[in-house]
Amino acid sequence: MPPLISFDKVSKYYGRGEATIRALDQVDFAISAGEFVAIMGPSGSGKSTAMNIIGGLDVPSSGDYLFQGVPTSGFNRAQLTLLRRHMLGFVFQGFNLLARTSAVENVELPLVYRGMDPRERRRRALAALEQVGLGGRADHTTQELSGGQQQRVAIARAIVTDPAVLLADEPTGNLDTKTSNEIMDLITRLNRDNGITVIMVTHEEDIAAYGRRLLRFVDGHLVSDEHRAREMDHAV
Amino acid sequence: MLYEGTKLAWRAISRNMLRSFLTVLGVVIGVAAVIAMVTIGNGTTAQVKSELSRLGTNTLFVRPGQWGPGRASTEAKRFTDKDVLAMQDQVSGLRAVAPINRGTATVIAGGANHSTSVIGTNNDYLIAQDWDLSIGRQFLPNEDRGSQAACIIGQTVRKELFGSADPVGQNIRVSNVACPVVGVLAAKGQSGMGDDQDDTVIMPLKLHQRRIGGTTTISSIILSAQDGVSTAKVQSDVEGLLRERRKIALGREDDFSVNDMSQIAAAMTGTTMLLTGLLGAVAAVSLLVGGIGIMNIMLVSVTERTREIGIRLAIGALENQVLTQFLVEAVMLSIFGGVTGILAGLALAYGVVTLLGVPFAASPTIILVAFAFSAAIGMVFGYFPARRAAQLNPIEALRHE
C-alpha cells in the first residue's frame, strides 16, 4: 500500500533568472494514513508552500506530489478541486468563515458543492458541530462567536466531509494559549479517535509538540524528520 | 446547485438593497419605457379600431393630393360643388355625399364665448358619420342652399355657451355671422387621437364658404356606400369620375385620393410603428447602459468578496459552481430591475391612458419579452465578472484582506 501522501523531489521556484527564489528544493518525504505531522520552520522556509502543494492549491515546478500513490502532476484545476473536495479538509489561521452566515451554514458549505440533499446536509453539519462541542450554537452567525468558537466551526467544516487528511495552517495563530490548547486537544482527538490524518503548519514549539512527527524546513530544504511519542496524551 | 445559487444571490442582493436598486435603475427605466410605450400604443390603436368599426367600413374619404403612408399631401386643385353634384348623379350605390370645409372660429352667445372648430357641410354628413341629433332638426333645403343661416352645435359647445338652458331657437354668432341654433348633436366623446368631437359647430357648406372660409371650393368629401354595395367598386367609380373631371391624362398619377377606413388605419399604424421604433432605440440604449451598470457593480462585488470566493474554491467549489453563483446573482439583479420596470411601465401607461381616455391594453407578449430580455442582459453583462471570480487563484484570494 503506497503512502497517503508523498513528495518525490518536489521543487517550487518563484520568479526567474537571477531573482529566482527556491521555495522548495528537491524535497522528499512520505506521510502515512493516520499520522499527525507538524511542519515547522522560519518564515520563507518553504513550509507554507509545501502545505499549499499538499492541499492542491499550488503545483510543484518540478518533481511530483503523489496522493495515495497517484501522481498529481497531470491534474488540471478541476481535478485538483475534486481532490480537495473529496479528500482534504482545511483549517486556516484566520478561520476563513463566511461572514454574516450561521455556523451550521458554514459547515454545510462543502456539502453544498457535493450536491448533497439539503436535509442530509443539515443533519451531517449539526453532527459535526456537535463533535467540535458547538452543538448549541448552530444558528449563531460568525460575528456572534469568539475566536475559539470560530475555529471550532472551521474544524467542523473541514471534517464534515469525512476527509482523509485535515490540513491545518497555523490553526492557533490567532488564539490565546488556553483556547489554543483546547483547539489542539480537539484536533488530537480527531486524529486519535477518528483516524483522520493531520498535517499542521505552526511556528510554535509547544503547538508542534501535539504532533507525533515533526518535519522542519529551512530555506526550502527538509532538514529534520523526527518521530516522537505524544507528550500531551495524558491531557486529552 | 441553481437553487443554492438563487438563495445565495438573493442574500447578496438583499444585503445591499439600496445599491442593488441603484444598480438596476438603468434596466428599470429602459424596461418601463418600452412597456409604457407599447401599452399606450396598444390602447390608442384599440381605440382607433373601435371607432373605425363604429363608423363602418363603407365610408370613403376623398381629398385633393396624395395622402397615405410616406406621402405628404401636395398642392392640388380642390373640389367644387359640381364635383359633389356629379358624384350624387353619376356614382351609384351611395348613401351619403358630404362635402366638408373646416375652420376654427370664436362662437358667442349672450355673454359667453368659446373657440371651436366649425364644419361646413350638409345633412349627409350626419349620415356618413352615423351621428344623431339629441334635440332640434337638420338643415332645411333653403338653409342648405345658403339663403338662410342655421347652425347645429355639439354638446361641448352647448355646455360652454348655454349651460343647461335649451339652445334651440337661440342665436349665436360664429365669427360675426349671426346664426340660429336649429339642432344639438348627440354626445360622441373623444376621438382616437384624443380630441373632443363634441367641441364643434356644423353649418351649411354655402354659409361656411362665404362667411368662414372665404372660398368657393371644397377641401374634402366624405362618401358613404349603401349596405351591400362594394366599397372597392364605389372607390374605383369615384376615382374614374374624378380623373375625368380633373382631366388627368392616362398614365398620370391621381392628384387626389380616395381612401377607405382601413387604408387610413394602415397609415396611422405606420406612424405609430415609426414612433415605436424610435422609442425602442432609446430604450435599447437605456438597457445597454443598465447592463454596463450591472457589470460594473458585479466587478465591485467580486473584488469585495475575493476572500469569500477563495474560501469556496479551497473547500471544493469548481470554477463552474462559482461562475454559476455570480451569474445567477447578475441575472437575478437584472430580473429584479426588469420586473420593477414592467410594474413601473404598466403604472405609467395606466396613468396616461386614463388621462387620454383610451382603453388600458397591456400586452402579455411584450411583458414576457421584457422579462426575458432583462434576464438576458444579466446573463451577458454578468458573465465577465462571474468568470473573473471563478478564475481567481485560491491562495491569493484567501490572502486578500
Q: What CATH number has the domain bearing residue A204? A: 3.40.50.300
Domain stops at, among B202, B229, B256: B229
B132 CB near a chain A CB, below 8 Å?
A: no
Do the beta carbons of residue B77 and residue B218 sit within 8 Å?
no
pLDDT per position as a tens digit, B197-224: 899 999 999 999 988 888 889 999 999 8
Q: How far is CA A104 from the centre of its chain?
A: 20
A163 CB near a chain B CB, below 8 Å?
A: no
Pick from B10, B13, B309, B315 the residue to mutate for testing the A interface (most A CBs within 10 Å).
B315
Q: Name the nearest CA neighbour of A107 among A119, A94, A124.
A: A124
pLDDT band for position B386 (cuts 50, 70, 90) = very high
Do the beta carbons of residue B378 and residue B334 sit within 8 Å?
yes
User: What is the distance between the alpha carbons of residues B265 and B42, in angstroms, rounded to a whole number?
Assistant: 13
Segment-wise mean pLDDT, segments of 10 residues, chain A, 236 residues? 92 86 93 95 91 94 94 93 94 91 94 92 95 92 94 95 94 92 94 94 93 94 86 50
**pLDDT greater than 90 at residue B3:** no
ipTM: 0.91
Residues 6+ apart with CB under 8 A from B348: B32, B36
User: What is the distance between the alpha carbons of residues B45 and B275, in angstroms, rounded to a whole number?
Assistant: 13
User: What is the distance between the alpha carbons of residues B177 and A86, in angstroms, rounded to a whole number?
Assistant: 99
| SS3 of residue B307 by DSSP | helix
Cell numbers of B212, please?
Answer: 368662414
Cα atoms in the 13 Å half-sphere on the side-chain side of B286? 21
Residue of A77, A92, A115 with shortest CB distance to B1? A115
Question: End-to-end distance of chain B based on CA atoms, in angstroms?
Answer: 28
Please give the pLDDT value at position B230.
Answer: 84
Task: Judge: A98–B318 Cβ closer than 8 Å, yes or no.
Answer: no
Task: Judge: A112–B4 Cβ closer than 8 Å, yes or no.
Answer: yes
Strands A213-218 vs A36-40: parallel, antiparallel or unpaired? parallel
Do the beta carbons of residue A174 and residue A180 sit within 8 Å?
no
**Residue with grid cell 401607461, as numbered in its chain:** B349
> What's the number of domains chain A is made of?
1
Residues 6+ apart with CB under 8 A from B28: B290, B337, B338, B340, B341, B344
- Gap from A151 CA to chain B (nearest CA, Å): 14
Encode burial over B267-289: b for 16+ CB neighbours within 10 A, e otherwise.
bbbeeeeeeeeebeeebeebbee
| SS3 of residue A8 by DSSP | strand
Cell numbers of B335, please?
Answer: 430580473
B395 CB near a chain A CB, below 8 Å?
A: yes
Please give the pLDDT value at position A235.
Answer: 47
Torsion, CA B296, CA B301, CA B304, CA B308, rounded to 10: -150
Pick from A80, A101, A113 the residue to mutate for testing the B interface (most B CBs within 10 Å).
A113
- Gap from B314 CA to chain A (nearest CA, Å): 7
Q: Name the nearest CA neighbour of B232 among B266, B265, B261, B269.
A: B261
**pLDDT greater than 60 at residue B266:** yes
Strands A88-91 vs A70-71: parallel, antiparallel or unpaired? unpaired
Question: Residue A31's beta-bridge partner residues?
Answer: A5
Residues of A in contact with B318 (CB under 8 A): 78, 81-82, 113
User: What is the distance between the alpha carbons of residues A142 and A35, in angstroms, rounded to a whole number?
Assistant: 31
Closest chain B residue to the Cα of A78, Cα to Cα: B318
A100 CB near a chain B CB, below 8 Å?
A: yes
Residue of A58, A113, A161 with shortest CB distance to B317? A113
Residues of A in contact with B315 (CB under 8 A): 84-85, 90, 109-110, 113, 157
**pLDDT greater than 50 at residue B92:** yes
Domain stops at, among B229, B251, B282: B229
Residues of A in contact with B4 (CB under 8 A): 112
Q: What is the DSSP letter of A17?
A: G
Average pLDDT on B126-135 reads 88
The residue ranges of DSSP E strands in A20-135, in sequence order, are 21-31, 36-40, 62-67, 70-71, 88-91
A157 CB near a chain B CB, below 8 Å?
A: yes
Encode burial over B98-109: b for 16+ CB neighbours within 10 A, e otherwise.
bbbbebebebbb
Please give the pLDDT value at position B274.
Answer: 76
Average pLDDT on B69-96 reads 80
Residue of B312, B316, B395 with shortest CB distance to A58? B395
- Percentage of the residues of chain B whose pLDDT score is greater than 70: 93
- Chains A, B: CB contacts under 8 A, how many? 51
Residues of A in contact with B317 (CB under 8 A): 81, 113
**Residue with grid cell 356629379, as numbered in its chain:** B86
Strands B112-121 vs B200-204: parallel, antiparallel or unpaired? parallel
Tell me: do B43 and B129 sit in the same domain.
Answer: no
Tell me: do B88 and B221 sit in the same domain.
Answer: yes
- Is B387 within a domain? yes
User: What is the distance between the alpha carbons of residues B378 and B334, in angstroms, rounded to a whole number?
Assistant: 5
Residues of A in contact with B394 (CB under 8 A): 57
Closest chain B residue to the Cα of A116, Cα to Cα: B1
User: What is the distance between the alpha carbons of residues B39 and B359, in angstroms, rounded to a whole number?
Assistant: 10
> What's the number of domains chain B is made of?
2
Strand order in the sheet with A88-91: A88-91, A165-169, A197-201, A36-40, A213-218, A221-227
Question: End-to-end distance of chain A based on CA atoms, in angstroms?
Answer: 31
C-alpha distances (whole Å) from B315 to each of A156, A235, B60, B303 are 12, 31, 78, 19
Residues of B in contact with A86 (CB under 8 A): 316
Average pLDDT on B267-274 reads 70
Task: Judge: A98–B311 Cβ closer than 8 Å, yes or no.
Answer: yes
User: What is the distance between the alpha carbons of residues B18 and B330, in angstroms, rounded to a whole number?
Assistant: 16
**Higher pLDDT residue, B278 or B389?**
B389
Q: Name the nearest CA neighbour of A166 among A1, A4, A3.
A: A4
Cell numbers of A9, please?
Answer: 523531489
Helix H or strand E encompassing B345 = helix B319-356
Say which amino acid occupies B318.
Answer: L
Closest chain B residue to the Cα of A82, Cα to Cα: B316
Q: How far is CA A103 from the centre of its chain?
A: 19
Q: How far is CA B249 from the centre of its chain?
A: 39
B312 CB near a chain A CB, below 8 Å?
A: yes
Task: Judge: A96–B1 Cβ closer than 8 Å, yes or no.
Answer: no
C-alpha distances (whole Å) from B280 to each of A33, B109, B211, B290 are 67, 49, 47, 15
Question: Residue B79's beta-bridge partner residues?
Answer: B218
Tell me: do B199 and B276 sit in the same domain.
Answer: no
Note the helical H segments in B186-318: 205-207, 231-245, 261-304, 306-314
- Is B298 within a domain? yes
Strands B256-260 vs A62-67: parallel, antiparallel or unpaired? unpaired
Residue A88 lies in domain: 5-235
Q: Name the nearest CA neighbour of B335 among B8, B13, B18, B11.
A: B13
User: What is the distance between the alpha carbons of residues B238 and B79, in angstroms, rounded to a whole number?
Assistant: 13
User: What is the distance between the alpha carbons of residues A200 and A54, in angstroms, rounded to a whole number?
Assistant: 11
pLDDT per position as a tens digit, B235-261: 889 999 988 888 888 888 888 888 887
- Is B250 within a domain? no
- Is B241 within a domain? no
pLDDT per position as a tens digit, B146-157: 888 999 999 999
Please give the pLDDT value at position A236.
Answer: 44
**pLDDT greater than 70 at residue B331:** yes
What does pLDDT average to over chain B? 86
A95 CB near a chain B CB, below 8 Å?
A: no
Tell me: do B83 and B45 sit in the same domain.
Answer: no
Tell me: do B387 and B331 sit in the same domain.
Answer: yes
Task: Judge: B310–A96 Cβ closer than 8 Å, yes or no.
Answer: yes
Residue of A96, A100, A114 with shortest CB distance to B311? A96
C-alpha distances (whole Å) from B343 to each of A104, B35, B337, B351 are 38, 9, 10, 12
